Amino acid sequence: MPEAARAALAGTRARLSTATRVAALTGAGISAASGVPTFRGTAGALWEDHDPAQLATPEAFARDPALVWRWYDWRRGLIANAAPNPAHAALARLEAWVRSVTVITQNVDGLHARAGSTDIIEYHGSIWRTRCLDCGDEREDRRAPLPQVPPPCAACGGRLRPGVVWFGEPIPAAAAAAAAAAARGCGLFLVVGTSGAVWPAAGLARVARESGAHVVEFNLERGGAGGQSQLFIPGDAALTLPQLVP
């Protein structure tokens, strides 16, 4: 690890020792080492020649629910066979060292919970939840693969959609408020494995910085913190983040 990164890691560790509240904004990059493809990365970002950013929309679902559900069923199967990696584990372990650790994740894979984190804000929802367009039934459904695609609502037989936030849809109010409060109230804000391409999640680093937090970015390349990071630690988060936590 380059000397500058080593120094950044040491500086962040020092801040951890006095921090009482840490918030971490995570993106698809933290799950890369678990084999879950990123949205905009290289391998796996496409699925059957479809661009995820085009599929993750209400318009795509209205146009072809079966296609969108095939994509989610494929991802659910892949995630069901994936395991949390040392980066997820490091954030979970951090809870033993810092009074409050809030994970604000853009990911819908549920890997932070499986790693043991206990204060998680699923900013873009969960691939393991469904919502019925006809009766509103919302539930967790971990079947992978789904027995039928699109899956019918268990309550009314109606049309289910994945319980995620699509492009053009608002962040659920409770998640948005909790994430803003966590960014405002923390002394240390970690930005892990996100391109900073998606809003309003990408605006949280500025909220943290303007509230006085120290912002540290863990990524292969700098930029996901929208220029708000004071420190940058390059490399695979599965290798770098565990070095932060004893």
Q: Does residue 199 touch ligand BV8 according to CB under 6 A?
A: yes
From the list 23-31, 35-43, 145-153, 165-173, the region that binds Zn ion by CB under 5 A is: 145-153
**Contact letters for ligand BV8, residues 2-41 (x by CB under 6 A):** -------------------------xxx--xx----xxxx
Binding of residue 83 to Zn ion (CB under 5 A) = no
**Phi, psi of 28, deg, nearest 5:** -55, -25
Q: Binding of Zn ion at residue 137 (CB under 5 A)? A: yes
List the one residue from 175, 220, 222, 242 that touches ligand BV8 (CB under 6 A): 220
User: What are the residues whose beta carbons fall under 8 Å from the beta carbon of 157, sequence distance 6 or more?
Assistant: none
CB of 20 to ligand BV8, least distance (A): 26
Nearest to 40 by CA among 162, 197, 189, 183: 197
- Among ligand BV8, Zn ion, none, the one that 132 touches (CB under a kind-dependent 5 to 8 A) is Zn ion
Among 23, 153, 165, 188, binds ligand BV8 (CB under 6 A): 165
Query: Which residues in the 82-101 window bind ligand BV8 by CB under 6 A?
Result: none
* 74 counts as binding ligand BV8 under rule CB under 6 A: no
124 labelled catalytic:
yes
> Which residue lies nearer to ligand BV8 by CB, 27 or 226?
27
The string of DSSP letters for the chain reads: --HHHHHHHHHHHHHHHH-SEEEEEE-GGGGGGGTPPPSSSSTTS-BTTB-HHHHSSHHHHHH-HHHHHHHHHHHHHHHHT----HHHHHHHHHTTTSSEEEEEE---S-HHHHHT-SSEEETTEEEEEEEETTT--EEE---SS-SSSSPBPTTTS-BEEEEEPPTTSPPPHHHHHHHHHHHHH-SEEEEES--S-STTGGGHHHHHHHTT-EEEEEESSS-TTTT--SEEEES-HHHHGGGT--
> Which one of ligand BV8, Zn ion, none interacts with residue 198, CB within 5 to 8 A by kind?
ligand BV8
The residue nearest ligand BV8 at its CB is: 29
Q: Residues interacting with ligand BV8, by CB under 6 A?
A: 27-29, 32-33, 38-41, 53, 56, 106-108, 124, 164-170, 193-195, 197-199, 219-221, 224, 236-237
Q: Residues interacting with Zn ion, by CB under 5 A?
A: 132, 134-135, 137, 153, 155-156, 158
